[in-house]
Amino acid sequence: MNLVFAIAIGAIFGAGVYLLLQADLLRVVTGLALIANAANLTLMASGLSRGQSPILPLTGDEPVSDPLVQAMTLTAIVIGFATTALLLALAVVLYRRRHSVDLDDLSREEAAASARDETEEPALDPWRDVELVESDEPEGAPR
Amino acid sequence: MMLIAGPLLVLWIAGLALVVMDGRRRAVGVAAIVAVAVAFALQAVLLGRVVTDGAQDLVAGGWAADVGIRLRVDALGAVFAVLSTGIVLASLVQAVATGVRSRTLPALTVFLTLGLSGLFATGDVFSFYVFFELAMIAAYALTAAAGTAREVSAAFLFAIVNLVGSFLFLIGIALLYRATGTLEMVAVAEAAGRLEATTAILLAITFFVAFGTKLGLFPFHFWLPTLYATASPPVAAIFAGALANIGAYGLLRFGGAILPKELALSATALIVIGTVSIAYGAIQAIGRRDTREVLAYSSIGHVGYILIALGLGGPIGLSAAVAFSIANSLNKALLFLSSELRGRLTAFIFLVGVLSVAGVPPTAGFFGKAALFDAGVRAEDWVAVAMLFVGGALSFVYIFQIYQHDRWRPREERERETPRGTAGVGQRLAAGAVALVVIVLGLWPQPLLAAGRDAADAIVIARGGE
């Protein structure tokens, strides 16, 4: 049973990392959701024990199975759900603003925007700087 | 006991109430300030109690001690709680004084404070994760709250990278539970001493990666500069001054208290990574012009010092790590808070931050760095001492460079970039309060050094009294 869990966790985590490295926002979010589930499964696997259900009154001397991991996993699922929802919301906002879900497009636009800012940014030397600005030369223009 | 649960209850109720209200209204902002201030006051009283009477315990719901979830505040947790809540308070005052432009900012800040207060007060590994995630989710939403494309994409990157760190941490907790069979920190620390070497080192690496990501250490830093440069100054101050404490506290708690043998074993690796972080942060910072970008890279550099202090190890190294973390949080919060304010008084406040980062007395930064040098010299680790010196010299260069670039310029040119006149009273008050703390700790360093020593003692006690 341990081996099955280990292989499943490894496969899910690997698939998650693969998706995380894609350029598509939604794939990234899906990848993260998979990693979250790999973590949940690890939590479950950390308390695999056979025994009677842990509800009082106990019957007989049979050992009790570990209830704690299930409580923890439940909490972790809720947290994973919240983070996935938040990430999807962020992806929607990004799509509305930039009309693309491709991370390369987004970072290209970002770079273009910061290059525009850079043009207006004055040089470090305060005295030389005054002349440069007054001469109205676009300092960060394409070289 | 009311002092432990009090701050959490106040923040939780206030957060729930505020989240349905429109945060742009001043009254809502003021209510959030009041809630955080109450939590701050309770935590300050709690810190006093912890210093005089030792660690305080509370088992939630009146369950038996080994069944219920335990809240446990020792000197380490109390110091970080007071520090973080105080910085959030100052930042929130400034945010409200500047004018809140998003509905959710006050409520999210309150939730973030709740997460931070909770994780510094818990004695249970899994509730640590829950509080930690609460603070982080509030932080992701806080970054995106303004809603422009730049901020949302910074928030997306921030969230993705840190969530991978969080889930690794969760996997680490699962391993820890599997290996030790308990979640209660003191019991975990005892059981961890008997672990097989391979299991323990695997655990230590998982936790190191998780907290390294939070701290923005060198190989895990890439999300940090965009975030700090994008967020508004008060939010950046919360991130750099309060949220980054999670990483420092986590390394001290999980490395120093739970896995001390593995921490000692990896001393060389920690010093090497810390050194690389310092060098990388400083060199990148020297190459930048934008004040907040410089501060972001300098944050990457400064966590390297904490790592070096951990690597030096022993009670002196641990107390130096705590003292430096406190000074560093205050410095970064102060610099971010005053980074976009104009006027003579705020220029002075900014200068206090600059001097403190450079480590010039009489500021808290001087004693933070002095504690590090002291730890290095006593451990006779001359490589680390040399690195501290080189890092300090580089920080002189970049920090005065931004001071010059930012403040020694013709007025009309400055105002073109940040088109605002002299800062408002509330904005100056928030930054001024932090500056005052930095100067007072510089003139009277006893509390800072005592906090470091008490916290280091608490870590040693938590190991199960070696």
Note the pLDDT tens digit of each residue in A65-118. Answer: 888 888 889 999 999 999 999 999 998 988 888 777 777 777 787 778 777 766
H or E element: which one contains A94?
helix A68-98
- Contact flag B167-A39 (C-beta cutoff 8 Å): yes
Do B409 and A126 lie within an 8 Å CB cutoff?
yes
Task: Using alpha carbons, list the distances in angstroms from residue B43 to B37, B46, B114, B247.
Answer: 10, 5, 12, 20
| Cross-chain residue pair A35–B289, CB shorter than 8 Å | no
Mean pLDDT comparison of B67-81, B316-330, B377-391, highest-scoring range = B316-330
pLDDT tens-digit profile of B333-378? 998 888 877 777 888 888 888 888 888 888 888 888 888 888 888 8
- Give the nearest partner residue to A130 out of B183, B404, B413, using CB atoms: B413
Mean pLDDT of chain B: 86
High-pLDDT (> 90) share of chain B, %: 19
For residue B227, pLDDT beyond 80: yes
Cβ separation of A20 and B163 shorter than 8 Å?
Answer: no
End-to-end CA distance of chain B: 29
Is the pTM value of this prediction over 0.90? no
Give the pLDDT confidence score for residue B12 in this predicted structure. 92
Q: Three-class SS string for chain B?
A: CHHHHHHHHHHHHHHHHHHCCCCCCHHHHHHHHHHHHHHHHHHHHHHHHHHHHCCEEEEHHHCCCCCCCEEEECHHHHHHHHHHHHHHHHHHHHHHHHCCCCCCHHHHHHHHHHHHHHHHHECEHHHHHHHHHHHHHHHHHHHHCCCCHHHHHHHHHHHHHHHHHHHHHHHHHHHHHHHHCCCEHHHHHHHHCCCCHHHHHHHHHHHHHHHHHHHCCHHHCCCHHHHHHHCCHHHHHHHHHHHCHHHHHHHHHHHHHHCHHHHHHCHHHHHHHHHHHHHHHHHHHHCCCCHHHHHHHHHHHHHHHHHHHHHHCHHHHHHHHHHHHHHHHHHHHHHHHHCCCECHHHHHHHHHHHHHHHCCCCCHHHHHHHHHHHHHHHCCCHHHHHHHHHHHHHHHHHHHHHHHHHHCCCHHHHHHHCCCCECCHHHHHHHHHHHHHHHHHHHCCHHHHHHHHHHHHHHHHHCCCC
Q: Which residues of A touch B140 (CB under 8 A)?
A: 83, 86, 90
CB pair distance less than 8 Å for B144 and A90: yes
Pick from A106, A121, A126: which is nearest to B410 by CB? A126
The pLDDT, as a whole number, for residue B112 is 94
Give the residue from B131, B171, B183 with the most A CB atoms within 10 Å of its CB, the best one to mutate: B171
Q: Among partner residues A75, A82, A97, which is closest to B152 by beta-carbon distance?
A: A97
Residue in chain A nearest B146 by alpha carbon: A93
Q: Where are the domains of chain B?
A: 2-462
Average pLDDT over residues B117-127: 89
pLDDT band at B466 (very low <50, low <70, confident <90, very high): very low
- Of residues A101 and B207, more confidence is placed in B207
Q: Which long-range contacts (CB under 8 A, 24 or more apart) does A135-142 make?
A: A140/A115
Residues in A closer than 8 angstroms to B404, CB to CB, are 126
Higher pLDDT, B416 or B454: B454
Q: Please check the confidence at residue A38 and state whether its pLDDT lies above 90.
A: yes
Q: Considering only the C-alpha atoms of chain B, give the largest distance between any 2 of them, rounded to a whole number of Å.
A: 67
Contact B167 A110 (CB under 8 A): no
If you measure CA to CA, which chain B residue comes closest to A127? Answer: B409
Task: Give the range with max mean pLDDT: B112-116, B191-195, B353-357.
Answer: B112-116
Domain ranges of chain A: 1-50+66-101, 104-143
CA distance B466 to chain A (A): 29
**What's the rounded mean pLDDT across residues B87-107?**
88
Residue A82's pLDDT is: 92
Q: What's the confidence (pLDDT) of residue B185?
A: 84
Q: Which residues of A touch B (CB under 8 A)?
A: 20, 25, 28, 32, 35-36, 38-39, 42-43, 45-47, 68-69, 72, 75-76, 79, 82-83, 86-87, 90-91, 93-94, 97-98, 106, 109-110, 113, 121-122, 124, 126, 129-130, 133
Q: In chain A, what residues touch B19 (CB-CB under 8 Å)?
A: none
Is the pLDDT assigned to residue B23 strictly greater than 90?
Answer: no
Nearest CA in chain B to A134: B413
Which CATH number, 3.40.449.10, 1.10.287.3510, 3.40.50.620, 1.20.1050.10, labels domain A1-50+66-101?
Answer: 1.10.287.3510
B185 class by beta-carbon count within 10 Å (0-12 exposed, 13-18 middle, 19+ buried): buried
Region B376-384 average pLDDT:
85
Q: How near does any CA of chain B get to the CA of A94, in Å?
A: 6
Q: Is the pLDDT of residue B414 over 70?
A: no
In A62-122, at which residue ranges do the beta strands (DSSP E only) sit? none
| pLDDT surpassing 50 at residue A134 | no
Taking CB atoms and an 8 Å cut-off, how many pairs form between chains A and B? Answer: 106
Q: What is the pLDDT of residue B197?
A: 84
Query: A-chain residues within 8 Å CB-CB of B126?
Result: 72, 75
Say what the pLDDT of residue A61 is. Answer: 77
